[in-house]
Amino acid sequence: MEQIQESKVIGVPTPRIDGPLKVSGSAMYASDHHFPGLLYAWPVCATVANGTISRMDTSVAEKMTGVVAVYTRETIGKLYRVPPSDGFSMVVDERRPPLADDTIRYYGQYVAVVVAQTMEQAHAAADKVKVSYRRDQPVLSGQLLTLPLTTAKPEEKSKRGDTAAALKAAPAKVDAVYKIPVETHNPIELHASVAVYDGQKYTLYETSQAVVNHRDVMAAMLGVPPEQVQVITKFLGSGFGGKLWPWPHAVLAAACSRNLRRPVKLVVSRPMMFQNVGHRPAIEQRIQLAASADGKLTAVQQDYVNHTSILDDYDEGCGEITPFLYSTPNLLVTGGLVRRNVGNPTAMRGPGAVPGLFALESAMDELALELKIDPVQLRLMNEPSIDESLNIPFSSRHLKECLTVGAQKFGWSHRTLEIGSMKRDGLTIGWGVAACSWIAARIETAATVELRQDGSARVACGTQDIGTGTYTVMAQVVSHVTGIPLTKIDVVLGDSSLPPGPISGGSWVTASMTPAVLEAARNACTAMLVAAVKADGSPFKNRKQEELEFVDGTVRVKGHAQNAVPMGRILQAAQINSVSGTGKSEGTFGDPKPKLSFHSYGAQFAEVTWQPEIARLRMGRVVTVIDAGRMLNPRAARNQIEGAVMMGVGMALFEETMYDERSGAPVNNNLADYVVAVNADTPEIDVTFLDYPDYELNPLGARGVGEIGLAGIAAAITNAVHHATGIRVRDLPIRIENLLQSPASGVSSV
């Protein structure tokens, strides 16, 4: 593939071009949209997790002040199921349309929706809808690995060699079970829909990480052609995967607008965020490792089970990274599902890899201890030369350098092996390491670039900026090709009517979007040269196109900078408003016969401090070294990794959604009781990018960054905790109760 090495804008730390809009409060998020005649919808949520609606009385609610309508299964109108599909079209987490039947399968399931003049009126009336249930005991807990599996037997995800035999024969072994509780996405921006139906067309302002898919799903569920639906998400207050696919509230809002011919706003409340819009499922993983006495892996087995909802099959895919991370002749990964009375789980930042690496990288630490080999060394010793699961080369892999650079920056050589042996300022310190990886891919993208009479450019692509910096990177790519400064480039995205762009998922937007935007910008420059030689009034009229070049927003005879004419002047003279070019790039994701293994890599080093006298555990610092291709905007990229590390701190130390066993209600359904890492928990974070371009993926060598930063953090922390305390926490989050048994603890547990 073409390789672009030199650039004045690519690779330069660049402040977000949308920053001023955000800090001035003028960026329009979904729920900011307001229209004349706007009504507010508030759903009625089931108060049981398993049962049947036996009676519903809406009469009180209907008479309340401001109430316009109360919709139930009988009155909401026709809603359809989306057809099954592969890939990234028609993806929806909950396939059953809202209010489709009277069976309750999870706590909070929508059973009715109230529409009123104000949100408060709608909320108050929703509370007065009386629903009676025949209730059954919900199924919520139990050891996942020992429960009967929903899938007849665990599915084989990857296999090579004879794992059973190798496990039996090995001199060194680890066999342990690792657990992750339900984690709930808590972006600051609540999910929201503002639906505007004008009798023909739906304009839907949504919190979406994938506007094109959202349009197609909504069209299918509403039973109209996609041209009659437009989905707009100009800004997103983060999503973390929770906003990748449409949820039932969006369908309810659109249906209410359809029924009333009025704009309808529905904002999902924070408590509803814990039950109606996905979560990372509860997961149990058994990891078995076998190695020779000198530390060479001979077998790896990973058996994972995650919970899913009653009706939909969400597979967390915990075995995604295991098959290629280390060299081993024998490997087996299996996965299974267990049904629970919960809403459907969904992708949460780094789905599969993040929980999978917690287990695998914890087990690697346990193996290192067993073998008395340094954990960094153990990983270096088991570096594969090819992707052994597919027998293909890596596109670009520098995991060893991540580990050695990280070790050096962290000061790893000063680590002493014995538990609790390292002290500083009266604190016990623990050091842990984990390797990480994340898939890199491109998905099909189209884009257009326009060059305009006023000297500005416009770039359009039906992708989204979910807070990660897509606006800025798109402008950088256009600026790189055209030489037009960032301040004169308008980026238009977040609208399903634009050329279809990638989902903001998998950290794939940058890799997917750049080849299409490069091509579109180049085609726009060519269109400008065509206009220069052909259009009446152009100062270059009748010259040969090959004699001209487009440089820094001007057209000139090749090499003759002194005669350069600004593009705006040519268009003015020719009375043309703008010229444009289109670009397209193919997807690589899901290629059944890939020639290369595309992944990013990293090494996470964590320090914790431990005060055994008062059982106080604190984060010390994190050194993270990331090999994720070329960083197009190192400033935004660093911000992504720092944020991801903080999510890793939350995963390791705090996050856990708890359910009432009787009602099935998430009980810590607010930001006071569901603890996320905050500024006070922030360790010193040292981010290093190796910055090796991956030219096999796209001409700029970009892979993508975001999710990789979370992968491995929880294991690095639990490994550090073990080093400080001697306690191996295999069941997240780390609770202080776990550590009271520490041999290095002076606190006796009562």
Residues making contact with ligand MOS (CB under 6 A): 209, 239-241, 244, 347-349, 351, 505-506
CA 147 – CA 141 distance, rounded (Å):
10
- Closer by beta carbon to ligand MOS, 108 or else 351: 351
Assess contact for 280 and 351: CB atoms under 8 A.
yes
Residue 347 CB, shortest distance to ligand MOS, in Å, is 4
CA 748, chain centre distance (Å): 42
**Strand 39-45 relative to strand 264-267: parallel, antiparallel, unpaired?**
parallel
Taking the least distance from each CB to ligand MOS, the nearer of 51 and 648 is 648
In the block, tokens 């800090």 appear at 23
User: What minimum distance in Å lies between the beta carbon of 282 and ligand MOS?
Assistant: 17
How far is residue 208's CA from residue 727's CA, in Å, rounded to a whole number? 41
Smallest gap from residue 45 Cβ to ligand MOS (A): 25
Torsion sign (Cα): 413, 742, 684, 437: positive
Smallest distance, ligand MOS to C-beta of residue 236, A? 10
Which of 120, 546, 707, 737 is flagged as catalytic? 707
What is the nearest approach in angstroms of ligand MOS to the Cβ of residue 234?
18
Q: Shortest gap between Cβ of 508 and ligand MOS (angstroms)?
A: 8
To the nearest whole angstrom, how small is the minimum distance from the Cβ of residue 442 to ligand MOS?
A: 14
Based on CB atoms, which residue is closest to ligand MOS, 240 or 601?
A: 240
Nearer to ligand MOS, 183 or 303 (CB): 183
Chain position whose Cβ is nearest to ligand MOS? 241
CB of 241 to ligand MOS, least distance (A): 3
Smallest Cα–Cα separation from 441: which of 333, 586, 314, 602?
A: 586
Nearer to ligand MOS, 236 or 697 (CB): 236
Q: Residue 247 carries which DSSP code?
A: -
- 247/605 with CB nearer ligand MOS: 247
Residue 299: φ, ψ to 5°: -155, 145
Nearer of residues 11 and 650 to ligand MOS, judged by Cβ: 650
Which residues are CB-neighbours of 20 under 8 A, at least 6 positions away?
Answer: none
- The backbone torsions φ and ψ at residue 248, rounded to the nearest 5 degrees and listed phi first, read -60, -25
Comparing CB distances to ligand MOS, the nearer of 279 and 398 is: 279
Q: Which helix (H) or strand (E) is 255 found in, with range?
A: helix 248-260
State in angstroms the smallest separation of the CB of 705 from ligand MOS.
Answer: 12
Per the omega criterion (within 30 degrees of 0), is the bond before 225 cis? no
User: H helices then E strands: how many in the chain?
Assistant: 17, 27
Q: Which residues of 1-36 are buried (b: 16+ CB within 10 A; e: fewer)?
A: eeebeebebbbbebebbbeeeeeeeebbbbbebeee
Query: Residue 394: beta bridge partners?
Result: 597
Task: Determine whether 707 is an active site residue.
Answer: yes
Give the tokens for residue 683.
Answer: 């360790």
* Residue 466 CB, nearest approach to ligand MOS (Å): 7
Cβ proximity of 90 and 83 under 8 Å = yes
Contact 467/29 with Cβ under 8 angstroms? no
103 token code pair? 């069976």
Q: In 256-283, which positions are buried (b, 16+ CB within 10 angstroms) versus exposed (e)?
A: bbbbbebbbbbbbbeebbbbbbbbbbbb
41 contacts 264 by C-beta, under 8 angstroms: yes
Tell me the CA distances in angstroms from 469 to 464, 488, 504, 511, 638, one per residue in order.
10, 17, 11, 13, 11
Smaller CB separation from ligand MOS, 313 or 660 = 313
Residue recorded with tokens 């600004």: 566
Closest by CA to 147, choosing from 51, 284, 49, 50, is 284
Q: How far is the CB of 503 from ligand MOS (least distance, A)?
A: 8
Q: What does residue 574 show for φ and ψ, rounded to 5 degrees?
A: -90, 0
| 576 secondary structure, DSSP code | -
Distance CA 288, CA 163 (A): 10
CB 649, min distance to ligand MOS, A:
18
Q: Which is nearer to ligand MOS, 505 or 709 (CB)?
A: 505
Of 235 and 550, CB closest to ligand MOS: 235
Smallest CA-to-CA distance from 503 within 347, 274, 326, 307 is with 347
Radius of gyration of the chain (CA): 28
The CA–CA distances, whole Å, from 258 to 36, 79, 197, 378, 558 equal: 16, 11, 6, 61, 58
> Angle, to 10 degrees, between the axis of helix 353-371 and the axis of helix 713-725?
30
Q: Which tokens sit at 348?
A: 């949460």
Min separation Cβ 487 and ligand MOS, Å = 30
Nearer to ligand MOS, 507 or 523 (CB): 507
Rounded to a whole number of angstroms, the distance between the first and last alpha carbons of the chain is: 65
Q: Which of 745, 722, 746 is nearest to 431 (CA)?
A: 722
Nearer to ligand MOS, 314 or 610 (CB): 314
Quote the CA–CA distance of 692 and 700 in Å, as a whole number: 11
| CA–CA distance, 598 with 439 (Å, rounded to integer) | 6
Catalytic residues: 707
